[in-house]
A and B are shown apart, each in its own frame.
Chain A
Amino acid sequence: MKKTNDKMSWVELRKAIAKQASVSEKEAGLFLSALITSLIDSLKTDKQVKINGLGQFKLQAVAPRKSVNIATGEDIIIPGYNKPIFSMESSLKDALNGTSEPILQPNNDPIKKLGEQADEIVNILADLGQDPNAVPADAPSVEEKEVEHTDPSVVLVESEEKKVEEEIQMPQDHQHNQKKNSRPWLTVGLTVLFFCLLLIAAYFFLQHKLIEWTGTLHEKMMQTEQTVVTTPATREDNTVTYQKEAPAEDAVPVPVTDRARHYDQFITTEKMHADSRLAWMAYRYYGNKDLWVFLYEANLDHLSHPSRIVVGTPIRVPKLAPELMDMSNPETKKVVEELQHKYLR
Chain B
Amino acid sequence: MNTKKLIHAIVAQTGSNAAHTETLLRVTAQVISRALCNGVSVQLQNFGTLEVKERAARMIVHPKTGEKSVSTGKTVASFRPSNNIKEIFK
- The chain A residues found within 8 Å of chain B, CB to CB, are 1-4, 6-10, 13, 16-17, 20-21, 23, 27-28, 30-46, 48-55, 57, 59, 81-86, 88, 91-93, 95-97, 101, 104, 107-108
Interface size of B as a range? 35 or more
Is B29 a contact partner of A17 (Cβ separation < 8 A)? no
Is B24 a contact partner of A17 (Cβ separation < 8 A)? yes
Is A40 a contact partner of B77 (Cβ separation < 8 A)? no
A39: nearest residue on chain B (CB-CB)?
B47
28 of the cross-chain contacts (CB-CB < 8 Å) are A3-B39, A3-B54, A9-B43, A10-B43, A13-B42, A17-B27, A17-B28, A20-B27, A21-B24, A30-B14, A31-B14, A31-B16, A32-B28, A32-B44, A32-B45, A35-B10, A37-B13, A38-B12, A40-B46, A45-B1, A49-B1, A49-B6, A52-B25, A53-B33, A84-B79, A92-B36, A96-B36, A96-B76
Partner of A86, one of B10, B14, B25, B77: B77
Q: Which of chain B's residues 50-78 have a Cβ closer than 8 Å to chain A?
A: 50, 52-54, 74-78
B13: nearest residue on chain A (CB-CB)?
A34
Nearest-CB distance from A222 to chain B (Å)?
A: 77
Nearest-CB distance from A1 to chain B (Å)?
A: 6
Nearest-CB distance from A63 to chain B (Å)?
A: 14
B79 contacts across to A, CB distance below 8 A: 57, 84-86
B42: nearest residue on chain A (CB-CB)?
A8
B25 contacts across to A, CB distance below 8 A: 35, 51-52
B30 contacts across to A, CB distance below 8 A: 20, 53, 104, 107-108
Is A92 a contact partner of B27 (Cβ separation < 8 A)? no
Is B37 a contact partner of A10 (Cβ separation < 8 A)? no
Partner of A84, one of B13, B35, B38, B48: B48
Nearest-CB distance from A47 to chain B (Å)?
A: 9
Nearest-CB distance from B15 to chain A (Å)?
A: 10
Partner of B33, one of A21, A30, A82, A95: A95
Nearest-CB distance from B85 to chain A (Å)?
A: 6
Is A53 a contact partner of B26 (Cβ separation < 8 A)? yes
The answer to whether the Cβ of B23 comes within 8 Å of any Cβ in the partner chain is yes
Is B89 a contact partner of A20 (Cβ separation < 8 A)? no
- The chain B residues found within 8 Å of chain A, CB to CB, are 1-3, 5-6, 9-10, 12-14, 16, 21, 23-50, 52-54, 74-79, 81, 85-86, 88-90
B52 contacts across to A, CB distance below 8 A: 3, 96
Partner of B40, one of A4, A31, A88, A101: A4
Nearest-CB distance from A5 to chain B (Å)?
A: 9
Is A104 a contact partner of B43 (Cβ separation < 8 A)? no
B3: nearest residue on chain A (CB-CB)?
A52
| Given A84-B79, A88-B76, A104-B33: 7 more A-B contacts, CB < 8 Å | A32-B28, A38-B6, A40-B88, A51-B29, A84-B85, A84-B89, A86-B50
Is A38 a contact partner of B42 (Cβ separation < 8 A)? no
Give the docked Cα–Cα distance between A31 and B22 (Å): 11
A44 contacts across to B, CB distance below 8 A: 88-89
B86 contacts across to A, CB distance below 8 A: 81
Give the docked Cα–Cα distance between A83 and B80 (Å): 10
A46: nearest residue on chain B (CB-CB)?
B1
Is A28 a contact partner of B43 (Cβ separation < 8 A)? no
Give the docked Cα–Cα distance between A108 and B36 (Å): 14
Give the docked Cα–Cα distance between A35 and B28 (Å): 10
Partner of B26, one of A42, A52, A55, A83: A52
